[in-house]
Chains A and B, each alone.
Chain A
């Protein structure tokens, strides 16, 4: 606007308590409800912005922002 370029800022949502809690159940069987559907498998890894769930040795990389809830199974 007014011929001036606006500064662009990149922001990232970070759910520190989700990350911390999920870290404590790595290796356990879980159900993850995402915004699309649920996935049931072993929680293989937890990173600041995504988790890895393995179903029959196939990894699914799920963005933390798409998680609604997680429950042990």
Chain B
């Protein structure tokens, strides 16, 4: 089962200007083949489908706990996309064409299908697909796939970082480059324990350090790249049999922390009358308040 916490992984900056086309590019990191929806669903299904969860418990614990972190990453990227779409339209009567700028942004779904928020799709508007999930049941093959998936995701993040300098997008990508680096190393170590092959010798892929990216350096300095959380109140502790030793990128000790990171408040979104969202005006709100307080 899952328990939900109303916190976001990090505090996102919310400038007074957006960039709708940057939001469209960031969609790739959400619903693309190598996006957060793919990492979430790959580890989620692999943990559901895991054979011999007891005998191979550290590996099961690893895939199961990272599933929960990926859920939070889906939440973080979605919130980034929402913030990036600020200021795309103006508030006016429908006949004044308040959504006119929507014709010239790449992702028209964001104005028509949603009220300028995130979509479960990629940067070209393709829906996220269930066949992005790889769950063969062979432990080494699944771990190898996860290692590849995380390296691919890292590459895509670096490229989207190079496409936009919007502060919200870069803060999110800087953090996820560091957390993605943790997952790459975690799967590399799991493969080493499973097979004896040292995968860390080929890292980093691409062969440049996270510290090259301004917005990742802060998180590297904080040691965010050395910690693996259990994401549970008592389960999945055996990840410490895999997440041990030192981080090959900085020589620092690897740490398992029980539970979840502190996180930050979830950003709120203002109303958008030109999208009829949420479509609850003063009168409706007063009636709702009465019904909420009434004994029905």
Contact = CB atoms under 8 A, between A and B. Distances in A.
A37 B92 contact: no
B247 interface: no
B273 to A, nearest CB: 11
Contact of B91 (A33, A40, A58): A40
Interface string A34-73: 0001111000000000000001101010000000000101
A38 B89 contact: yes
Interface residues of B, number: 13
B90 A73 contact: yes
A31 B16 contact: no
B110 to A, nearest CB: 14
A31 B17 contact: no
B133 to A, nearest CB: 37
B248 interface: no
Contacts of A56: 16
Question: What DSSP secondary structure best describes chain B's contact surface?
Answer: loop
A40 B20 CA distance: 16
Which of B16, B20, B88: most chain A Cβ within 10 A? B16
Nearest to B20: A37
Interface in B1-35: 15-17, 20
B127 interface: no
B271 to A, nearest CB: 14
A46 B278 CA distance: 35
B101 A38 contact: yes
Contacts of B88: 37
Contacts of A71: 92, 96
Contacts of B96: 71
A31 B88 CA distance: 12
Contacts of A73: 90-92
B87 interface: yes
A71 B87 CA distance: 16
Contacts of B17: 60
A39 to B, nearest CB: 7
Contact of A37 (B15, B16, B91, B101): B101
Nearest to A31: B90
Contacts of A58: 15-16
Contacts of B89: 38
A66 to B, nearest CB: 14
B87 A39 contact: yes
Nearest to B105: A37
Interface in B30-52: none
B227 to A, nearest CB: 35
Interface string B219-243: 0000000000000000000000000
Contacts of B92: 31, 71, 73
A58 B13 CA distance: 14
Contacts of A60: 16-17
A69 to B, nearest CB: 11
18 contacts: A33-B101, A37-B20, A37-B87, A37-B88, A38-B87, A38-B89, A38-B101, A39-B87, A39-B90, A40-B90, A55-B16, A55-B87, A58-B15, A60-B16, A60-B17, A71-B96, A73-B90, A73-B92
Given A40-B90, A40-B91, 8 more contacts: A31-B92, A33-B100, A38-B101, A39-B87, A56-B16, A58-B15, A73-B91, A73-B92
